[in-house]
Amino acid sequence: MHKISIQVRFSDIDGVGHVNNAVYNDYFDTGRLHYFKEAFGQPVEWGRGKTLVLVHTEADYLQPVFLYDAIEVCTSVVAIGRRSVKMKQRIVAAGGSVRVEGYSVLSTYDMETRQSFPMPEEWRKKIEAFEA
């Protein structure tokens, strides 16, 4: 499981005084970005060549996050398909309370052909090794 600390910004807070639900997607994006950078051993060139694209997200909001909360995004791959990966993410506050649980699916995507392609064995092995 990959973990990264997130700084809650003043602009993340809504009129009710907690992080706006839409902002959690930004936090999850940050978690996925850093997950793949570490799993693949180098930054992914998102939007170029053969890459992964986000095709599905869902979130369960369990407890609010407030401006001064210390939080981290925990990210893992829970399944690797023929052309996709399913990820589970959590936003966890100091002390271990889970504030948000998220699930996402990323599909392989060739920017040139604009088509999905079979998951490269090299990618599969790197993800499996990172999760081990």
Give residue-wise pLDDT tens across range 8-19. 999 999 999 999
Q: How confident is the model at residue 47 (pLDDT cuts 50, 70, 90)?
A: confident
Evaluate if residue 45 carries a pLDDT over 90.
no
* Spatial distance between the Cα atoms of 49 and 47, rounded to a whole number of angstroms: 7
Tokens representing 2 are 């990959």
Encode pLDDT of 116-125 as tens digits: 999 999 999 9
- 83 secondary structure, DSSP code: S
Query: Could you tell me the pLDDT band of residue 48, with boundaries at 50, 70 and 90?
Result: confident
pLDDT of 67 over the 90 cut: yes
Name the percent of the chain lying above pLDDT 90: 94
Q: 10 Å Cβ neighbour count for 5? A: 10
Give the model's pLDDT for residue 64. Answer: 97
- DSSP notation for 18-80: BB-HHHHHHHHHHHHHHHHHHHHTS---TTSSEEEEEEEEEEEE-S--BTT--EEEEEEEEEE
127 pLDDT band, cuts 50/70/90, is very high
- What domains sit in the chain, N to C, each tagged with a CATH number? 2-122 (3.10.129.10)
